[in-house]
């Protein structure tokens, strides 16, 4: 079919993680405190001043539902689907206060 595009581009809008409509299509992940105390068993990564740590976790197959995700102030989070399926992830500036994100959050 000539001239027909299969891709559409739409703007995303920020919404509240507490919106009940979210439950029907995904899981809102909230920030949590560090669940594993730091210790000498942790790996070390060094990028300039300061010290960063990272966790390596085995994700069971089929995966358990995700209910929380750690909030790192000086590192990036990486998450992927075990099945290689696409998924949505909400990203916000570290200064943003949860659980409500609105259109003013950049």
Query: What's the pLDDT tens digit per position in 42-54?
Result: 666 555 665 555 5
Percentage with pLDDT > 70 across the chain: 13
Residue 95 reports pLDDT greater than 70: no
Residues linked to residue 70 through DSSP beta bridges, in sequence order: 32
Whole-angstrom CA distances from 55 to 38, 44, 73, 84, 96 are 10, 10, 15, 21, 24
Which among 13, 17, 30, 12 is positioned nearest to 103, based on CA atoms? Answer: 13
């Amino acid at each position: 079919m000539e001239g027909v595009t299969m891709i559409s581009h739409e703007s995303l809008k920020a919404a509240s993680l507490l919106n009940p409509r979210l439950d029907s299509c995904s899981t809102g992940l909230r920030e949590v405190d560090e669940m594993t105390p730091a210790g000498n068993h942790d790996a070390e990564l060094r990028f300039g001043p300061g010290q960063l740590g990272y966790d390596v976790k085995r994700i069971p197959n089929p995966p358990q539902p995700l209910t929380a995700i750690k909030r790192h102030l000086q590192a990036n989070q990486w998450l992927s689907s075990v099945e290689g399926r696409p998924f949505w992830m909400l990203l916000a500036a570290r200064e943003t206060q949860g659980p409500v994100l609105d259109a003013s959050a950049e």
